[in-house]
Structures are given as structure tokens and as C-alpha cells.
Copies of this chain bind each other. A is one copy, B any other.
Amino acid sequence: MEKKRIAVFFGGRSPEHDVSVISGLQVLQALDQTKYEAFPVYITTDGKWLVGDILRDRANYLLDKNAYKKVTEVTLDVTFQDNVGKKGALLAKKSMFFSSLKVEEFDVAIPVFHGLYGEDGNIQGLFELAGIPYTGMRTMASSILMDKVVTKHMLRSLGIPYLPYAKLKRPDEGYLIPKDKLSSMLRDSNIDFPCIIKPSHLGSSIGVAKVDNIDELGACLPAIFEMDDSAIIEPFVQNLVEYNVAVSKISGDVETSAIERPKAVDELLDFKQKYLSGGDNKTGTKNSETISEGMLSLTRELNPKLEKAMEEQIITCSKILFEAIDGSGAPRIDYIGDFKTGDIWLNEVNPCPGSFGYFLWEAAEEPLLFSDFLSGLIEEALFERQKRKLLKDPVPAEARLLRRRLG
């Protein structure tokens, strides 16, 4: 049987570009080579799409002039591919005389992006439009989960506990909001100091800050509004404990992964620590092994001892949310709790978590190796595409079922 060609997309214009490159190369490395023939599609920070073998090596990022000669700038054919044998097609941006425009063809796309454009439904929309099978969450689920406020609306409707919040929209002019307005918003939302302020759409703890008073709060706004058009404020949770769990239906049923408890650190949990612990950034993270299990265990506890009721709550809420938004892929759902009171709230969801959260599946009750997990996601991508195909082509202008009214 011919191997399926898999295009692994990563990089992109999001602030989380670098993390995406790491996750993308991990995926390329881990794909089952007996089944798939995979190649990288790298989107630069300024939005160019590149293909070429040198992109397989982390050491070649970011690209210098010399490396640039070894890659080809491409775009994706957005027109619908439906006929048997038609595939996703990457076309050369520059017309090359006496050669085909088609540079690469592929059967399935694996978008490995974190944050804006790649995890928020936008590149998913492109794949839907072109009819290209792709892994992960669909357009709507991605766009909802990347918006912290709309996610809370879903949680409220579903009866899933979440922290109260106030939403701050970026003013049309300038990045400042008067202190009295901030104070009254906090009062209306029943939020006291200290509180947490964060951008409404970014992930990876980017722009998240704990503030102790109205001056600190005001001072954080310009930096957040440079990155996002709205911010949310939440109460600061005392006696903080966090639990994360991934959800997927690649086995056919909706299932959860192992639960992890990210370890509390005394001072900072920053971007670098969250993702790069164990990765040797100087020599380049060439494959997933360099983020060793040993190093990972320094930052998280897998399958922590949990009271039965809390474990069940985490699993049940995760499945309810996943099903309510027509979940696919393997999003990671993050909870935040107070270990003294036992309260727990669903905090946020990552449609495409760092490293695809593979360690959560490897530590699950029925362990799933990264490579098999990726094969499952690819199978699901093909199945989701097939489901869409059942949608009939345009029906005749006379709809087949008519609404009968008795006015």
C-alpha cells in the first residue's frame, strides 16, 4: 500500500512561533514511517510558507540567506479538492518556466500551531474550504476555545464551574483605561485584589500577570493591548493547584488522558519554563528525546493522587465540553483549584497543546505511544473529512423538505 503523504505545518505569525517549531519537529520525528511519508511546511514569522528538506533540522532556524536558497516559497491551492486521487497541493509562488506549479502534494495536513491564526480556526477554515483532511479541532471549536470569554459563556451554559471575570476591550484610541472605570468594573464583577489579568486570546501564559492594586492593573494594560484586542481579569486563586487533562475520540469513544499536575514554582512560571525545560536551546532541540522524561518530571506530576470526586469532576466536565463543541483532535483542558477548599474551576483549553500533550497519552490508563497517537489523529482527520462528504451537493432550489406552517 502506498504511504500517505503528510504535510506538517508549523511556525506562523503567532507570538508562540518558537514553541510551534519545537512541537512541529517533534511531530515530524514521531510519525510512523512505515505508514506515512511526512514533510515540513514552515510558516515564517512574517507569514511566508516554505518547503524544503533543510527545514527538518531545528539547527536551521531562523533561516539565513544561504539557507533561504534551499527552500521554496509556496502557497496552498484553496480550491476544492474532491475527485478521487486529488490531493492538497502546494504551489510555487514564483512561476517557474517549464516546470509544474505543483511543488508538493499531500493527503493529510497536520497543523501544529499554538495561538493566533493556526490554533484559532483560521487555518482550519482554509483546510475545510479546500476539502483537505486535517488533524485536530475543527473551525468552530478552535475559534471558541481560543477566546477565553466565549469559552466561559459555553461553560456557564453547560453548568461547568469557571472563575468569575471582567472583560476589558481595548479602547479605540490609546491603550489606557481610566482607574475609576477599572475599579467599578471590578466591583461589578465581584473581583478583589490581588487579581490576575491576561489577554483574551493568547496562550502559553503570555501576558499573564498577577496584580495587587489598581495602579499595577492599569500599568499592565498597554503591554496586553499591544498583543490582543481584549483582556480579562479574574480573581487570584489562593492555595493554587492546577490539573490538566487531554480529551480525544480517536478510539471511537470520548476518552481522557492521564491527568497531570504542573508543579507549583515559587516565583515564576514563564513561557520558557513551561515548554523548554529539558530542551537544550543552544544546540537546538533536534528530536523529541532531548526533552527527556526525566526532565519533564521536574515540572509535572503525572497521575497525581486525587480524591475520587475531584477526578470524576475533571473527567466529566472535560468530556461534556468536548462533546458540546463537536470536539475532535486532542485538546488539553486546564483546571485551576484551591487545594484547601477543594474548589476547582475549568480555566482554559488548548486546542493544540504544546508537544500535542503526547506524554499525557503515554501515561494514560491504556498507554498510547506518541507515534500511535499521531496515527489515530490522522485516521480521525480522514474520517472527519468523510463525514463532510456525506453532506450532499447543492440541493435543487426547491428544498426537499418544506416547512409547513399553520400560521
Interface residues of A (CB under 8 A from B): 13-18, 45-49, 73-82, 91, 93-95, 97-98, 100-101, 116-117, 120-126, 128-129, 131, 139-140, 143-144, 146-147, 149-150, 152-154, 156-158, 170, 196, 204-210, 220, 223-229, 240, 264-272, 276, 324-326, 387, 390-395, 397-407
In contact, A207 and B399 (Cβ under 8 angstroms)? yes
Closest to A391 in B: B227
In contact, A13 and B399 (Cβ under 8 angstroms)? no
- Tell me which residues across on chain B come within 8 A of A152, comparing CB atoms: 157
A152 to chain B, nearest CB (A): 8
- Tell me which residues across on chain B come within 8 A of A101, comparing CB atoms: 94-95, 101
In contact, A268 and B404 (Cβ under 8 angstroms)? yes
Q: A77-B75, A399-B206 are in contact. Are A147 and B140 (CB under 8 A)?
A: yes
In contact, A124 and B125 (Cβ under 8 angstroms)? yes
- Tell me which residues across on chain B come within 8 A of A153, comparing CB atoms: 153-154, 157-158, 324
- Tell me which residues across on chain B come within 8 A of A154, comparing CB atoms: 150, 153-154, 157
CA distance A341 to B125 in the complex (A): 42
A151 to chain B, nearest CB (A): 11
CA distance A213 to B295 in the complex (A): 62
CA distance A209 to B170 in the complex (A): 44
In contact, B150 and A144 (Cβ under 8 angstroms)? yes
- Tell me which residues across on chain B come within 8 A of A158, comparing CB atoms: 153
Q: A117-B128, A139-B125, A158-B153 are in contact. Are A405 and B80 (CB under 8 A)?
A: no
In contact, B82 and A47 (Cβ under 8 angstroms)? yes
Q: A153-B158, A267-B404, A401-B223 are in contact. Are A395 and B206 (CB under 8 A)?
A: yes
A407 to chain B, nearest CB (A): 3
Chief secondary structure at chain A's binding surface: loop
In contact, A129 and B126 (Cβ under 8 angstroms)? yes
Q: A131-B47, A229-B390, A392-B226 are in contact. Are A267 and B76 (CB under 8 A)?
A: no
CA distance A48 to B86 in the complex (A): 13
In contact, A394 and B78 (Cβ under 8 angstroms)? no
A117 to chain B, nearest CB (A): 6
CA distance A178 to B21 in the complex (A): 48
A256 to chain B, nearest CB (A): 20
Closest to A121 in B: B139
CA distance A153 to B158 in the complex (A): 8
A143 to chain B, nearest CB (A): 4
Beyond known contacts A196-B403, A264-B407, A269-B403: 7 more, CB 8 A cutoff: A13-B393, A78-B126, A123-B129, A140-B146, A154-B157, A209-B402, A210-B404
- Tell me which residues across on chain B come within 8 A of A100, comparing CB atoms: 95
- Tell me which residues across on chain B come within 8 A of A17, comparing CB atoms: 394
